[in-house]
Amino acid sequence: MQFFIDTGDIKEITEASKWGIVDGVTTNPSLIASTGRKQEDVIKEIAQIIDGPISAEVIATDKENMLKEAQELVKIHENIVIKLPLTMDGIAACKFLTDNNIKTNVTLCFSSNQALLAAKAGATYISPFIGRLDDIGHDGMALIEEIRNVYDNYGYMTEILAASIRHPTHVRDASFLGADVATMPFKVLKSLYAHPLTENGLEKFLSDHQKANK
């Protein structure tokens, strides 16, 4: 499983990159807006830190303007992946970009039927939002399982990018079910390291070492 960090915060990306486990970055208009900076400037800086896929989302809602934005975004860096909403225009734009060898990430996916549409359009990634489904009483992990089964049934190459991850259990369960990528906030990525037995064990080792060397 690949790990992407879901943020527009350069400090978080810089620190996480030092851990050696981050494969890519996902952003969205909300994350970029929280930085108070232009999307182009943020993406350029991210590309200098992470050598991997960087999802940059279009703002337009119609195919024509999505494609115009996409053409500008891909000029920023070769690792740019165009993030598109799962709408009729978004899927149409996905098909066009795929046919022109531009990578895509179809986002805001909440059903296996939607994921099937994205795969048929040749999306590089599909982003099911598991946390948002959980928030309204649905089972986000059931969606990951459904999409995995559909894609495996027909040999689709679209990668499942588990998104809207809220906690470490989401990461664990997504890995069990065969998600190709998990994208998560900095705090969730950092929390994957934590376990009380690891911390207690390390404290004991250090304590025993100090006693033995007195």
Give the separation between CA 63 and CA 87, rounded to whole angstroms.
10
83 catalytically annotated: yes
Report the alpha-carbon distance of residue 179 to residue 199 in Å, rounded.
29
| Residue count (the chain) | 214
Place of tokens 């004991």: 204
Sign of CA dihedral 194, 200, 201, 204: positive
CB distance 82 to 122 below 8 Å: no
51 contact partners, CB below 8 Å, separation of at least 6:
79
Contact 162, 181 (CB under 8 A): yes
Question: 11, 68, 83, 214: which is the annotated catalytic residue?
Answer: 83
Catalytic residue numbers read 83
